[in-house]
Structure 1
Amino acid sequence: MSAKVVVIGSLNMDLVTRASRLPRGGETLIGESFATVSGGKGANQAVAAARLGAQVSMVGCVGNDAYGVELREALLADRIDCQAVSTVDGASGVALIVVDDNSQNAIVIVAGVNGALTPEVIDRFDAVLQAAEVIICQLEVPDATVGHALKRGRELGKTVILNPAPASRPLPADWYAAIDYLIPNESEASALSGLPVDSLATAEAAATRLIAMGAGKVIITLGAQGSLFANGKSFEHFPAPKVKAVDTTAAGDTFVGGFAAALAAGKNEGDAIRFGQVAAALSVTRAGAQPSIPDLSDVQAFKTP
């Protein structure tokens, strides 16, 4: 299969409960519902790119358990090439997610066999990377693997995207030169730059610092405030489409996958950002991670209320 977008990253089973609010420390709440939903930032971004028009290959690991079977089947259902999804001994990754009545969430991730995605595994599937136009990485697999994949993508001359999530500390300095598009949210941009990010002005300052550190271009996603694009010469703010949020899980992943799919389809940066934003906006109107991700026809039919 000729893959235009290759996603290197995590596959997790999301264990999702809804409650009126998020619990405080030491508190037990009565939940309203529970569901198991295929997720993981890598898999979510792969599904988003596939539903939004790209040919996609996934590189990752699942366990030899029931969740591993379900995670692979979910990707195959979206016609994602899984030749580089390895089944290894151990438990698949899981994410414990609580969603409140305001659509905010709290998440705890247990990596499981996502930790088995090593640089050697990436090398084993180098032909998959060679077939890509766009390569996407995140931070739910080992740092050594992410750094190796970014640098290999640069060597191959591919468009390289890093969604630095979850991020709580600066990235290794030698990663930045391999990144064409760095796509953090506000808290991630703050963690990477060491600057507070709570407005457009502070987002511009953080983006400026991240480009000075070596990133090619930076897109800081700002939730309901849209996103900020910086290329080292200028800034552009893209307001978010107005929708009524139900569940923000996977909104960022949907944006990244949609942006990558649009780039692979030949759209310019501005149009790709707008496309990703519409996809992300549609995703927050639905519950769940992968179940919330829209397809291409949904985005094409979207009209701002």
Structure 2
Amino acid sequence: MKKPKITVIGSINMDLVTSTDKFPEQGETIRGTQFQTSPGGKGANQAVAAARLGANVNMIGLVGEDSFGEQLLTNLHNEDVDVTNVAKQKGTSTGLANIVLSEKDNRIIIIGGANEYVIPSYLEKCKEAIIESDYVLLQFEIPKQTIEYCLEICAEHHIPVIVNPAPAMKLSKKAWKQATYITPNETEKKQLFQNQLDERFIITEGKQGVSYMEDNQPKHVAAHDVEVLDTTGAGDTFNGALAVALAEGRSVTDAIIFANGAAALSVQKIGAQSGMPTKEQVFNFLHKD
């Protein structure tokens, strides 16, 4: 099977991850149990997920002129992600995510840094890579106008797009209509779409699984019963895997089953990218019985 070409346009962050036995209350100081830095950013996470699952992945984004930026570029290169369209933005820091892990959940604060400079004029320089893609994958850690501009390009050239609306941000009605698939979690669905549901929506519901529509009928894929250590990269793994499966020509149901299995594997390790599986690992997991 020919490797699908997937372009990911989005954030590239360094994750600063603190683990604790409980989340602190307002004004409370507590002791943490572990600290580590790890590559992250929803864009970079989804790019790594898709690359590990066998796609040819082109990343479009920016890092700062600092040590974190160098580390993140090296990491993407080592993950076989094409970084031709990742540049260093002068005078700003690389994006950061401060992540607190506790009670099998997470709380995250994002600092945009260089990601805020991924603007339409920068996207224009990378247009050729976009229009050569089998699928484009977008998230909301870059400016709104860039997301809407990308959707315009893809609509003009008939390139299918998965829009992962995280963190939640409103787009124009025209932009939403240009998305091929929209993949909110439960919270994002309530904030952005309320009771709206059509066959473009694929809703991730954590331990409840995934809901979607097919042939005008509601469908559901149950979550796998696994030991959860870190949910940070689960949604990004799901979206990267979904893009790969759809780009390979699988049905929506088969693509969701594949992505759901990949996400289940990802939550069993600490770190957004460290638990992302290979295609062989997902296949073995889904056929273990």
For Structure 1 versus Structure 2, the TM-score category normalised by the shorter chain is over 0.9
Q: Using the alignment, how far apart are the partners of 1:86 and 1:231 within structure 2?
A: 40
What corresponds to 1:246 in structure 2? 229
Q: Tell me if the contact between 1:258 and 1:276 (Cα under 8 Å) persists in the aligned partners.
A: yes
What corresponds to 1:127 in structure 2? 128
Q: Using the alignment, how far apart are the partners of 1:131 and 1:21 within structure 2?
A: 47
What corresponds to 2:8 in structure 1? 7
Root mean square deviation of aligned Cα: 1.5
- The superposition leaves residues 229-270 of structure 1 with CA deviations (integer Å, 9 ceiling, x where unpaired) of 125722211111221111101100000000101111221111
Q: Using the alignment, how far apart are the partners of 1:283 and 1:53 within structure 2?
A: 16
Offset at residue 43 of structure 1 (A): 0.3
What corresponds to 1:282 in structure 2? 265
Q: Using the alignment, how far apart are the partners of 2:115 and 2:215 within structure 1?
A: 34
What corresponds to 1:181 in structure 2? 181
Q: Using the alignment, how far apart are the partners of 1:109 and 1:150 within structure 2?
A: 24
Q: Tell me if the contact between 2:144 and 2:171 (Cα under 8 Å) persists in the aligned partners.
A: no
Structural mapping, 1:41-52, within 5 Å = 41-52=42-53
1:217 counterpart SS class: coil
Offset at residue 138 of structure 1 (A): 0.6
What corresponds to 1:116 in structure 2? 117
Structural mapping, 1:1-305, within 5 Å = 4-89=5-90, 90-100=92-102, 102-167=103-168, 169-193=169-193, 195=194, 206=195, 209-211=196-198, 217-231=200-214, 233-302=216-285, 303=287
TM-score (norm 2): 0.95
Q: Using the alignment, how far apart are the partners of 1:292 and 1:24 within structure 2?
A: 29
Letter in 1 for 2:192: L
TM-score (norm 1): 0.90
1:14 counterpart SS class: strand
Letter in 2 for 1:77: N
Q: Using the alignment, how far apart are the partners of 1:190 and 1:228 within structure 2?
A: 14
Q: Using the alignment, how far apart are the partners of 1:58 and 1:210 within structure 2?
A: 30
Letter in 2 for 1:91: S
Q: Using the alignment, how far apart are the partners of 2:212 and 2:27 within structure 1?
A: 41
Q: Using the alignment, how far apart are the partners of 1:66 and 1:184 within structure 2?
A: 33
2:32 counterpart SS class: coil
Q: Tell me if the contact between 2:96 and 2:110 (Cα under 8 Å) persists in the aligned partners.
A: yes
What corresponds to 1:199 in structure 2? none
2:26 counterpart SS class: coil
5+ residue gaps, structure 1, are: 196-205
Q: Using the alignment, how far apart are the partners of 2:197 and 2:148 within structure 1?
A: 17
Q: Tell me if the contact between 1:16 and 1:35 (Cα under 8 Å) persists in the aligned partners.
A: yes
- The superposition leaves residues 3-39 of structure 1 with CA deviations (integer Å, 9 ceiling, x where unpaired) of 7100000000000010001111111111001000000
1:32 counterpart SS class: strand
Number of residue-to-residue matches in the alignment: 285
Q: Using the alignment, how far apart are the partners of 2:288 and 2:30 within structure 1?
A: 37
Q: Tell me if the contact between 1:75 and 1:82 (Cα under 8 Å) persists in the aligned partners.
A: yes
What corresponds to 1:202 in structure 2? none
- Equivalent pairs: percent with the same residue? 40
Q: Using the alignment, how far apart are the partners of 1:3 and 1:111 within structure 2?
A: 30
Q: Label 1:67 to 1:3 Cα distance change in 2 as closer, same or farther (>3 A).
A: farther
Q: Tell me if the contact between 1:241 and 1:304 (Cα under 8 Å) persists in the aligned partners.
A: no
Runs of 4+ with >3 A deviation: none
Q: Using the alignment, how far apart are the partners of 1:54 and 1:22 within structure 2?
A: 38
2:76 counterpart SS class: helix
